[in-house]
Amino acid sequence: MKIFMRILALLAIGVFAQFVWLWGFCRFYVGPNQMAIVTAKSGESLEPGQILARAGQKGIREETLGEGRHFLNPLFHEWEIVSVTIVDPGKVAVVTSKIGGKLAEGEFIAERGEKGIWRGVLGPGKYRMNPYGYNIEIVDAISIPIGYAGVITSLSGEQAENGQFAAEKQKGVRRDVLQPGLYYVNPKEYKVDVLEIGINQVSLLGRSGGKVVTKARQLGTNEALNVLQSAVLEKQEAKRQDYMSKRSSSAVQDQKFKTGTRADFEAGRAPAAMAPAPLEEGAMNLTELVSFPSRDGFQISLDMTVEFELSPDAIAGIFRRYGDLPAVVDKIIMPQITSISRNKGSEYRAKDFIVGEGREKFQSDLTVSLEQTLGAKGIKVYNALIRHVEVPDEIRDPIQQASIAIEQDLTNKERQNTARKQAELNTELSLIKQRGEQVLQETEKIKAEIAADLGKQVAEIQAETLKKEAEVRKLTAAIAADRVRVLGEAEAAALQKVDGERANGLHLKTAVFNDPVAYAQWRFADTLNPAMKLNIIHAGDGTLWTDLEKTGFAELGGAKQLQKK
């Protein structure tokens, strides 16, 4: 018994020691949004080039432990608790794997299971990926604003043929574009440039330079998307600023672009050279101008606004050939505007640009030429508006003075015409008033005539109605008298015929019997009640009462009573 108790005591001590070991030394807890990285202290050695250990190997294990309570022997394992990777909405995670198979030569985008930058990105969510084997970079998703399109440039694969769009697994500009919306794009695999679609403007301010005005971004009700869209546009704006700074530095003597403010453009002032300011959204200042000699040798400068559109179906090709909007304006639109305006403008005299008809014809010719030239390149031109023409003072002043004199003469003539028309108007107004009064009098007269005629017609109608009513009554009385006479004659004829026929019947009946008494007896018998019975009593010897017994009347109670009496 003592031995058994000792064994039980030893077992209890062993169980308690095991409990203390497990819960005091082996137990650890992984909290919410955390994970545990386990390192095995024993096992087989890692293979050459292997970073993370599998089950049974010594080293940092690839698999991590999630939230909750875990038990590991601290003599054979170590653990490190770190935060999990959380990708918020509107973000993507780019994964660079340190483990896996090697990529093909020249490739840097890997599939899952390969070493390198994974092609697929991680969308919003929670991920327990071992940081010793995976490097995770969280970036913004691409949000294309309304009124923009995203041009995709593939950064991996074989280079597409020159002048061709990139196909699947080829490097270059893709034909398909991103419409407004939110996209989870791998920025290591694709570069997305947002370009304005719809109508934009290039405004040239004569010798003051000019400006490109693009459509303003339309804000939505989703603040998170607005933040993403602002980030995308800021990145695109940074690219444009970089392009313009490089363009300016490469051509100091003939700068095409430099930054400024919208106030400068509205006021018609040239942006200050060598003093760049942050570029305002939707605007680019230019130093390009339209200036050319006229047919008669005078230098002409124009203020011009050209409205153009980059359509979504052509914007990828335009970007592939020329680049972003500043490059499109710099390489295509501006050279065509200046070239065509100079070629067309040299066909006109300086006077033609001051007189309205000549300027309108020049504007029409310029618009048609720009539509044809830029339309062949996928850029649609809507209008080329000439807002101001600057000509030399020596020709402008005489023309202006002559034009002012002509206009003044026309003004005086118009004033005289106006005075004459005013007098005629006053005369017509007085005539109108007089004619109005006449019309009122005529109207009253016509109204009285109409009322009298109407009363006469009403009286005639009433008299005719009474006459018709008397005639109807006369006819009705005659018809009623005829009805009484006809009915009386009909009743008399009917009575005569019925009674006559009845008398004829009686005469015939009496003629049959040939005896009035016999006929009366037949008539009497014929009118007797059919239910009446006739009993003939033959009286014999004896009394009446004794003879009644033979007739059957003795059975009657009354007869018996008479007999008893």
Strand pairing report for 142-144 and 181-183 = antiparallel
Same domain, 420 and 297: no
Domain of 327, CATH number, reads: 3.30.479.30
447 CB-near residues (< 8 Å, 6+ apart): none
Give the 3-state DSSP-derived string for 116-148, with helices as H, strands as E and coil as C: EEECCCECCEEECCCCCCEEEEEEECEEECCCE
- The reported pLDDT for the residue numbered 356 is 63
| pLDDT at position 262 | 33
Residue 161 falls inside a structural domain: no
| Two tokens, residue 245 | 């700074």
pLDDT along the chain (565 residues), means of 10: 77 79 84 92 85 87 90 88 92 91 82 88 92 92 88 89 88 91 91 86 64 57 72 80 71 40 35 39 58 81 84 88 85 86 83 75 88 89 82 69 77 87 87 87 89 89 90 89 87 84 78 76 77 65 55 49 43
Last residue of a domain, one of 55, 81, 107: 81
pLDDT at 550: 55
DSSP state at residue 66: -
Burial 472-507 (b: 16+ CB within 10 A, else e): eeeeeeeeeeeeeeeeeeeeeeeeeeeeeeeeeeee
What total of structural domains would you count in the chain?
4
**Within a domain: residue 271?**
yes
Distance CA 181, CA 150 (A): 10
Q: What is the pLDDT of residues 458-493, one digit of tens each?
A: 988 988 999 998 899 889 988 988 888 888 888 888
And the tokens for 24? Answer: 């005091």
Domain co-membership, 556 together with 479: no
Write the CA distances from 554 to 359, 531, 540, integer angstroms.
Answer: 155, 22, 16
> Does 344 lie in the same domain as 222?
yes
- Inside any domain, residue 540: yes
Query: What is 278-297 written as a DSSP string?
Result: PPPTTEEEE---EEEE-TTS
Domain-ending residue, one of 81, 106, 128? 81
Same domain, 371 and 448: no
Residue 232 and residue 378 in one domain: yes
Q: What is the pLDDT of residue 220?
A: 58
Q: How far apart are the first and last CA of the chain?
A: 145
What does the pLDDT read at residue 539?
58
* Residue at 175: amino acid letter: R
Question: Are 151 and 177 a contacting pair, CB within 8 Å?
Answer: yes
337 within domain boundaries: yes
d(CA 303, CA 397): 19
Average pLDDT, the chain: 79
Q: Distance between CA 354 and CA 407 in Å, rounded? A: 14
Is 309 within the bounds of a domain?
A: yes
Say if residue 424 is in the same domain as residue 542.
no
Q: Are residues 547 and 523 in the same domain?
A: no
SS (H, E, C) 471-497: HHHHHHHHHHHHHHHHHHHHHHHHHHH
Based on the domain organization, do 347 and 457 belong to the same domain?
no
With a CB cutoff of 8 Å and minimum separation 6, the contacts of 403 are: 354, 355
Instruction: For residue 121, tell me if it sits in a domain.
Output: no
pTM as predicted: 0.57
Q: Token pair 């003599």 is at which residue?
A: 75
Q: Which of 51, 81, 111 is the last residue of a domain?
A: 81
Are residues 480 and 442 both part of a single domain? yes
pLDDT of 562: 41
Shared domain for 497 and 564, answered yes or no, is no
List the domain range (segments joined by +) for residue 26: 1-81
Residue carrying the six token digits 């009644």: 548
371, 486: one domain? no
Q: What is the pLDDT, as a whole number, of residue 250?
A: 58
Q: Output the pLDDT for position 274.
A: 33
In a domain, 131, yes or no: no
Residues 282 and 369 in one domain: yes
Residue 140 lies in a domain: no
The 10 Å CB-count burial string (b at 16+, else e) for 91-101 is: bbbbbebebbe
Strand 116-118 and strand 109-110: the pairing is parallel
